[in-house]
Structure 1
Amino acid sequence: MRWREGLTECRQMLGIENNTTSHTEKIISGLGGLTGILAVYWITYTAFANAEAGTTAFVLMVTSMGASAVLLFAVPHGALSQPWAVFGGHIISAFIGVSCHLLIDNTPLAGAIAVGAAIAAMHYLRCIHPPGGATALAAVIGGSDVYAAGYHFLVMPVLVNVLAILATAILFNSLFPHRRYPAHLTRRQRKTVPVEPQTRQFDLTQEDFAAAMTKLDSYMDINSEALVELLELAKQQAEQRSTHPGQIVTGHYYSNGKLGSLWAVRRASAASEHGMSNSSNIHWKTVAGTGLGEEGVYSLEIFQAWARYPVVLQNGHWVRSDDQDADT
């Protein structure tokens, strides 16, 4: 239906992705964030034992750590969440923020330069961490308590907060084998079933992915190692199934098995349902992927050659169908 196609296009324009995370995982992430912020409060309060707990500096840094908590406990395996990104992102940004405040009299200009310089520095030092931008800005607009601290602001409270939330992330995520933090611990313990290379028509390599990511020339919150591992698992899954359906069942959905902009899902229906007399033809309509909304007629043989396997819609994602009638 056209309204569904319009809704899909709107969702894609807004960047609303389907979330396949289980309810348990979502709850664990929330509990992790709660635990992390409590740890930051407690450790910072202890470190500020001789100061009023409600100082401007204290409040600002807890706010900054709240952003880090989202990354550390909701996406602990993301590139933006790893220890160097968190540590370097906050400390380097704090240094830049304090320096901009001391060197530039105009506060709005100092804040803007601090954030811009922090982004560039995090890029070059390989520690991009979005909350670092908030830390740089806090050093400029934080008020008298922050200004009085000077470069000591990097140690108290920034360093104290960073170490507290990193320690909590390591301990909390260690309770769940699939969430080990840093991400390297999870990759090291995961075992995959090897597939003989000779059974494949081609094999993408680590170097291929590194080259492709270079051509994109845009930072992505996933490294080439994790991307290769994800594709390897997907390829192993693909190799366990047949390449083309032996029979096309009208009313079912089929994928062409491609990736990216070449991928498409089409619904097959009998040509006779659309006023066409040739029963050996298949009327199709693209319901997902490239050419969304397009429709046409293929001979049965051509549609079989196009279709890689039957699919069904589950939790907002198209997955291979377990319906054996469609595969036979």
Structure 2
Amino acid sequence: MRRGLRFLGWRPDSTSHREKLVSALGTTLALILLYGVTHLVMAEAALWVTGSMGASAVLVFAMPHGTLSQPWSVIGGHVLSAAFGVACVQWLPPGFWLAALAVGGSVVIMMYARCLHPPGSATAMIVVLGGPQITEAGFAFVVYPILLDVLVIVLFAVAFNALFDGRRYPLPLVRHQVSRAPGIAPEDFEHALKQMNAYMDIEFDDLLRLVELANNNAQSKGVAAADLVTGAYYSNGLPGRNWSVREVQQVVNRPGRAGRVRYRIVKGAGEGGNGICRVSEFVRWARYRVEPDEQRRLWHRVTGEEEAS
């Protein structure tokens, strides 16, 4: 089951409940505002456009730091795609293939213009399939409601995301103090991304910051003998199949003799097994104290504050 879900693209989610609720709230409020502004003039056309703008709102408020969500991607993606869709309708004969051409052409235009935004292609299709009112509006439809709609979303996103810690929009408002990760230079990342030859929805500075934080965590202090707690979980922090989590079942300290730790392997290599070893051996093996989620599918480190509590 787990392999099947991973094949389908299912991944563990590290976002908090608060982050999910904030994303939903921002999306809802933005679309309410958008609906009101757009319907002031073109009610029927606005109904067609709302679908693609709804997708944009999800990206902007659920992934405010993503490259596909940045203002140029949102504005350029919708406006250029809408213009290409109008050009297809105005200058080419009608046919079943026209909507497909509008979508495919918009992808090429957005990628060359460096504003790839998937909902923009939906806007191109809406222009082709939207009916006589949109067709008659012609290129004026690109300005209103398309341009107005994206400006409403972007401006509201700037104000809304500024209300919450850890959220800033657009991305340059996020101030990362990025130092070079030991052994890895920014040029190494740039070269690796070019070798992958795939579109990555993450800003370069965010990628460096992620690696820097991971490196700092990897270099943090390990587990000491005094830190061992009965019933707590510890990980060896190794990659791949060598990774393992042990639950301490008993710590025996004997005066004048080496202490012993009785443990159970609850995850990873040797899962289901039991063992006993010296405290010094267990401490050398253990790298972090960890805790599982409710389904014991995702394990996270326990910080010093959590250990103290």
Decide which of 93, 104, 111 is 1:105's aligned counterpart: 93
Counterpart mapping for 1:1-328 below 5 A: 7-46=1-40, 48=41, 51=42, 53=43, 55=44, 57-186=45-174, 188=175, 190=176, 202-242=182-222, 254-258=235-239, 262=240, 264-267=242-245, 287=267, 309=288, 311-314=290-293, 316-320=297-301
Q: Which amino acid aligns with 1:25?
A: E
Distance in 2 separating the partners of 1:240 and 1:89: 43
Distance in 1 separating the partners of 2:177 and 2:111: 32
SS of 2:198 mapped into structure 1: coil
TM-score by length of 2: 0.78
Distance in 1 separating the partners of 2:246 and 2:52: 52
What are the Cα deviations for residues 280-305 of structure 1, in whole angstroms up to 9, with x where unaligned?
Answer: xxx998945xx998x9x9x9999998
CA drift at 1:203: 2.6
Q: Which runs of 5+ in 2 are unaligned?
A: 248-262, 305-309
What are the Cα deviations for residues 169-211 of structure 1, in whole angstroms up to 9, with x where unaligned?
Answer: 111111123211101102x2x557x7xx8xx8x4312111111
After superposition, the CA RMSD in angstroms is: 3.6
Answer whether contact 1:107 1:141 (CA < 8 A) is retained. Answer: no
Distance in 1 separating the partners of 2:89 and 2:220: 60
Sequence identity, in percent?
36
Which structure 1 residue ranges, 4+ long, deviate > 2 Å from structure 2? 102-108, 241-258, 262-269, 283-288, 299-323
2:256 corresponds in structure 1 to none
CA drift at 1:19: 1.6
What are the Cα deviations for residues 11-31 of structure 1, in whole angstroms up to 9, with x where unaligned?
Answer: 211211222222222111111
Distance in 1 separating the partners of 2:270 and 2:2: 9
Structure 1 residues 322 and 79: CA distance shift in structure 2, 3 A: closer
What are the Cα deviations for residues 30-62 of structure 1, in whole angstroms up to 9, with x where unaligned?
Answer: 11111111221122123x1xx5x2x1x211111
Q: Which runs of 5+ in 1 are unaligned?
A: 1-6, 270-282, 324-328
CA drift at 1:127: 0.6
Distance in 2 separating the partners of 1:209 and 1:246: 40
Distance in 1 separating the partners of 2:94 and 2:223: 65
| Range 100-109 or range 147-156, more displaced | 100-109
Q: Which amino acid aligns with 1:317?
A: L
Q: Which amino acid aligns with 1:214?
A: K
TM-score by length of 1: 0.74
Q: Which amino acid aligns with 1:63?
A: G
SS of 1:319 mapped into structure 2: strand
Answer whether contact 2:89 2:128 (CA < 8 A) is retained. Answer: yes
